[in-house]
């Protein structure tokens, strides 16, 4: 007697984890208050905090996700803070008086 052919089971599709669209505000630190929206018609990505009314807009591409907009906002906040610290250090350097 011959052996029965075994059927190969179909490979299960891996589901991609869904990325968040709601984040913590970098200004008021309120959890789940920042919502990111993408307007593909005008190619604008926008992050809005509903608690403190802070807002950030950036250029969006077809590959842009809400996490990209939020990350860009955080990077821009960090960049501005670093510039402010650098200006403060320069002012302190030039305000130093020699005796």
**CA–CA dist 94, 68 (Å, integer):** 39
pLDDT in tens, the chain (99 residues): 667 777 788 888 888 888 787 899 999 988 889 999 999 999 999 999 999 999 999 999 999 999 999 999 999 999 998 887 777 777 666 666 555
The domain spans of the chain are 19-98
Helices (H) and strands (E) in the chain, counts: 1, 4
Q: Which residues have a Cβ under 8 Å from the Cβ of 21 and sit 6 or more positions away?
A: 35, 36, 66
Record the pTM: 0.71
CATH of the domain spanning 19-98: 2.20.25.190
């Amino acid at each position: 007697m011959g052996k029965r052919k075994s059927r190969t089971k179909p490979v299960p599709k891996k589901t991609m984890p869904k990325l968040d669209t709601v984040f913590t505000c970098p200004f008021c630190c309120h959890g789940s208050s920042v919502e990111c929206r993408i307007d593909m018609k005008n190619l604008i990505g926008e992050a809005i905090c509903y608690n403190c009314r802070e807002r950030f807009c950036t250029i969006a591409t077809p590959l842009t996700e809400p996490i990209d907009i939020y990350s860009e906002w955080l990077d821009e906040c960090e960049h501005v803070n670093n510039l402010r610290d650098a200006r403060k250090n320069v002012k302190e350097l030039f305000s130093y008086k020699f005796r």
